[in-house]
Structure 1
């Protein structure tokens, strides 16, 4: 066999070596998707993105070198909505494949930032004059909690927020409430009015008979002390209920 034949055979059988320059310049497929999603967010605003797409934007920072679309969809499928993902307990977030400690903490940090922003909307201003912001804050803070919480907004004589405190935490369907303790704390803070808030983890904010009766007891306890109960708000994933608005108190 001639040298030319050997040479031709050699070149025909040997695989081509990868081009190191091409390998370095080739970008993962998900980078283009990220760029397009960011552009749509900037140009069309958050309303143009679905829940899972908005969640993808958050996950880009936590997971910089992987496709996050599937993970975002898995989180929505597990918890139901963008808000419910952020409201989910950290240990349940970690049960979703692909969510480690750092990603779970990042998501909870975003949730905390949202609640802090909502609280800022009612701080240092007359609460009764910004009722929509009060409801928004209460929902951000409590609507997706897995257990019942009893919260009190303490107000001064101008109905400006003095303090916002969780008084009790309970089970999935019950929280103990002690009217004397509520009023003791109101007097300690020199509050002249309060707004009661608690959540229903079931999602349905409809007040129970026990909710109504306990509210009436707190109202009667505060009356001789000069502490007014403006309302009792119940929040859940499916909305909110105002006992005063429903004429239950």
Structure 2
């Protein structure tokens, strides 16, 4: 082999690949540090969804390029929010995504919900209504089955309990009016906010939703318990019974 041939061969830069190392360091380490720096300086809004998801995956996969996996997750679920709220079994169907990474994703979701819940628990509900709506949608809007939740309020309209009363199927949750009122009295609540989700994504109230709400309002009022609102949440937003004139 001539000197020129040798130089030409060595002058070609090999294509980077997972596990490829140059000077003893994996190629993705520099990318990780640059990504962390951008996040520190510009916050989450400075990163597209796939890069924010990469950051979430870093701790679970310290020796792997997470960019292809982050993009695969978003390709499967559509958005960052959908990925964070996806069931464990569906996340594990993504090739290369293991239990450690799924745990990191669920940890991020749990931390976000804990923060949002804390912000609404310490304030009168009616003065932090948008926070209540955001919390309910984050907690229930992406669930695959219907859930019926009740926020129990004291005389200052602060939340004294946040409870899921029932869980049903993809399009129905049994609600027992007597149990709702009984629980409010047990907690000495003077007001309640009803919340449930529509897994279809469309938060429009059904006739059954409207009738059930009327029954709860009628049963609670003589006992001094006010129904402030019934909120339906879904992927496409929320619907407020009070806002729609249904309460």
TM-score (norm 2): 0.89
Provide, for residues 35-73 of structure 1, a one-character-per-residue CA deviation record: whole Å limited to 9, x for no partner: 221121122221111111111110011111111111111
Structure having the higher Rg: 1
Alpha-carbon offset, residue 86 of structure 1: 1.0
2:227 matched to which residue of 1?
Answer: 229
Aligned to 1:244: 242
Between stretches 204-213 and 158-167, larger displacement belongs to 204-213
Cα deviation for residue 201 of structure 1 reads 0.9
SS in structure 2 of the partner of residue 132 of structure 1: helix
Residues in 2 aligned to 1:51 and 1:207: alpha-carbon distance in whole angstroms? 32
What aligned pairs does 1:106-121 form with structure 2 within 5 A after superposition?
A: 106-121=104-119
Is 1:136 matched up with 2:134? yes
Q: Deviations over 1:81-107 (max 9, x none)?
A: 111111111111111111111211221
Identify the residue that residue 37 of structure 1 maps to in structure 2: 35
CA distance in 1, matches of 2:36, 2:23: 22
What's 1:11 paired with?
Answer: none
Say yes or no: does 1:96 pair with 2:91.
Answer: no
Instruction: Name 2:145's counterpart in structure 1.
Output: 147
| Aligned-pair CA distance for 1:124 | 2.6
Total equivalences in the alignment: 228
1:231 is paired with a residue whose SS is strand
Which of 76, 79, 97 is the equivalent residue of 2:77? Answer: 79
For residues 98 and 133 of structure 1, what CA distance do their matches in structure 2 show? 36
In the TM superposition, residue 24 of structure 1 has moved relative to its aligned partner by: 8.1
Q: Out of 113, 124, 127, which is 1:126 matched to?
A: 124
3-state secondary structure, aligned to 2:59 = helix
Q: For residue 54 of structure 1, what is the aligned residue in structure 2? A: 52
Question: Which whole-Å CA distance do the structure 1 matches of 2:104 and 2:33 have between them?
Answer: 21
Distance 1:45 1:25 in 2: 31
Task: Give structure 2 stretches of 5+ with no counterpart.
Answer: 1-20
Moved more, 187-196 or 26-35: 26-35
Counterpart residue number, 2:200: 202
CA offsets, 1:103-157, max 9 Å, x none?
A: 1122112111111110000113211110011011111211111111000000001
Partner residue of 1:105 out of 93, 98, 103? 103
Partner of 1:5: none
Provide the alpha-carbon RMSD of the alignment: 1.4
Deviation (angstroms), 1:26:
2.9
Alignment-derived partner of residue 158 in structure 1: 156
Aligned with residue 178 of structure 1, among 172, 176, 179: 176
Paired with 1:85 and 1:119, the residues of 2 have a C-alpha distance of 21
- Tell me the alpha carbon deviations over residues 213-242 of structure 1, each in whole angstroms, 9 at most, x when there is no partner: 111111011011111000011111111111
